[in-house]
Structure 1
């Protein structure tokens, strides 16, 4: 039991450092725009580029992992550390983009491997718990990492933020080497085309569409969270750091609630929750006219944003374990792949909304994607109703 707790901590730490590195751009958006003399909308496309590269590279890497998965984890973690170190020394915006691309290339595969390790080390009663906590590592990054990184950036400069991320990455690599099983292999892995057969299953392609639209709906708004706090709601920098922390707590609550939903009604609960999220987002322009009502609305989005994660992850893994064992590692990455495709789509859409209609209207763009997630969830539940439950 002690070994399981230590290994679980390391897997959660991996997701934390991945989330810290990915999400910190949102906290230092204004600082990067000032440093490199580009607009906030242009800097916001760093989120789009990162997520798009993440989504494209992850299935390619995960589907070709044929050897020892522990060795793959260590190599990818070292590349991740190098990419963040390169960001520290970026002399211009182009090198900054390149460094973010390097980090993005390996981040999704690291999440996938973490999920694969989780299914091996966790006893069945603890599987939903560990999966929800691996997802929650990203929320903990929002709670502590993004506000801390934002404070460091404001106080010492954004490069010191990435020095912190790089040092934490080195520590994480050391812990991976010391604690995780060294002999984990993916079994029954087929040819790359055999692995991708899983995407022909309606339970999978509907899940993919749900995850993409769900994250797109949130990131139309979330990419521009700091500018909304500073420009639309007129909070000063010190208060913004506190608000980012509170928002992170809301997203952590969201991930933990996601685990509870997975252990109860699962995806059957999601249509009602998506209806609530749709209402919260589409009415956001009205809420943002008042500082405190706007803040409440933003925090409600934080609570709703990750509720689908654990039910959908366990559903996908259940499909793979029962019907597509050759695609298990690929299946474990599906959630993160299409989350980032959704992030890329949502942040790009957010950039268009901000450029053409202003910050106040990002919620309406998010609501449109949420409506598609709602429709897809209803369809998936109908498909699942005709089959044995997989979670």
Structure 2
């Protein structure tokens, strides 16, 4: 039992470090912009680049793993992850920083996929949903504690220190992983791996993958620029922003926990009303932009709604794969993180366009367009299909 708890903690820690590395840019946008004398929108584009590379590389690297021992694969990709964060810490210019983020993004998706594989391997079948949900919660924990702490550290001693800390802690987690997790786990051989992609021709899947894209895309139009919004536009101190990001992270953690309960029965129908609320909240961010206190509340609402469809869509993909495309189970299990990152890329890119063209007050309106489309997608999925 003690060994299982330690193994679980290590896997959660891996997700935490991945979340820290991905989300920390949101907290240090302004500091990086000042260091390299580039616009805030240019730094915000790093979030877009990271998410796009993450989404593209994950399925490709998953297929390349083959029959290699997953322990060795994990040690290799975590080493690359550490190198990417060290390169971020020492980047002499914005181009090198961008390259470092590409390197880190390349291996982040396959890292969490393998972590989930280990989680299901070491856990009895009846507890697998529990451990998988906790491993994914590592990302939310990073939002609650990691990103605000990184933001505060950046303000105190510089943003580079945050990447050094991520690299050092990841090295320690890697050592613990090698010591505590099994060394004999391998992926089963797939004879014709191209058959897996047939699932992407399924109409329900094509609609279903739009759910995380639009849900996260709408929120990330605003969230990518939340730090400069609170400091530059609303005049709040960085200390206040740090505390606020903790509260936002708690809302995200509650979103993950609530998602599991919503997914238990008719999940797609049950989440619909919450995305109506998300759409209204996004519109409100623009409408009440000159009333900062109102916007503070609305952004917390966005944090609570952002992940509510996560568990539902994951079960949705897996059900279709099990019944129609059993050869694509592994690919289907990666859809939620992949297309969540597509949404992050879409949202952060859209936010950058809005900031550069019409200004931050219009960010909420841009996000609301995506969630309005999401409502249409959810309606079609729940009314036009009978699964």
Alpha-carbon displacement from aligned partner over 1:230-261 (angstroms, at most 9, x marks no partner): 12221111111111111111111111111222
- Structure 2 partner of 1:342: 343
Superposed counterparts of 1:39-58, under 5 Å:
39-58=39-58
Deviation at 1:384, TM superposition (A): 5.7
Deviation at 1:188, TM superposition (A): 5.2
CA contact (8 A) 1:63 1:330 kept: no
Equivalents in 1 of 2:383, 2:75: separation in Å? 41
Deviation at 1:3, TM superposition (A): 3.7
Q: Is there any run of 5+ residues in structure 2 with no aligned partner, and where?
A: none
Equivalents in 2 of 1:134, 1:40: separation in Å? 32
Deviation at 1:295, TM superposition (A): 0.7
Equivalents in 1 of 2:191, 2:232: separation in Å? 52
Residue 250 of structure 2: SS of its match in structure 1? helix
Superposed counterparts of 1:114-129, under 5 Å:
114-129=115-130
Equivalents in 1 of 2:195, 2:154: separation in Å? 46
Deviation at 1:2, TM superposition (A): 3.8
Equivalents in 2 of 1:175, 1:365: separation in Å? 44
1:102 and 2:98 equivalent?
no
- Structure 1 partner of 2:5: 5
Equivalents in 1 of 2:191, 2:340: separation in Å? 25
Deviation at 1:383, TM superposition (A): 6.0
Residue 57 of structure 2: SS of its match in structure 1? helix
Deviation at 1:322, TM superposition (A): 4.2
Deviation at 1:117, TM superposition (A): 2.7
Alpha-carbon displacement from aligned partner over 1:347-370 (angstroms, at most 9, x marks no partner): 110011111221111111111111
CA contact (8 A) 2:29 2:44 kept: yes
CA contact (8 A) 2:284 2:295 kept: no
Deviation at 1:58, TM superposition (A): 1.1
Superposed counterparts of 1:1-391, under 5 Å:
1-67=1-67, 68-187=69-188, 189-382=190-383, 385=386, 387=387
Equivalents in 1 of 2:197, 2:262: separation in Å? 29
Equivalents in 2 of 1:346, 1:190: separation in Å? 37
Residue 269 of structure 1: SS of its match in structure 2? helix
Rate the CA distance shift 1:2–1:201 in 2: closer, same or farther, 3 A: farther
Residue 263 of structure 1: SS of its match in structure 2? coil
* Range that drifts further, 304-313 or 375-384: 375-384
Equivalents in 2 of 1:197, 1:70: separation in Å? 29
Q: Is there any run of 5+ residues in structure 1 with no aligned partner, and where?
A: none
Alpha-carbon displacement from aligned partner over 1:161-206 (angstroms, at most 9, x marks no partner): 1111001110121122122232222335243311211212233222
What's the TM-score, normalizing by structure 1? Answer: 0.94
What's the TM-score, normalizing by structure 2? Answer: 0.94
The runs of at least 4 aligned residues of structure 1 exceeding 6 Å deviation read: none
Rate the CA distance shift 1:287–1:319 in 2: closer, same or farther, 3 A: same
Deviation at 1:382, TM superposition (A): 4.1
CA contact (8 A) 2:66 2:189 kept: no
Number of residue pairs matched by the alignment:
386
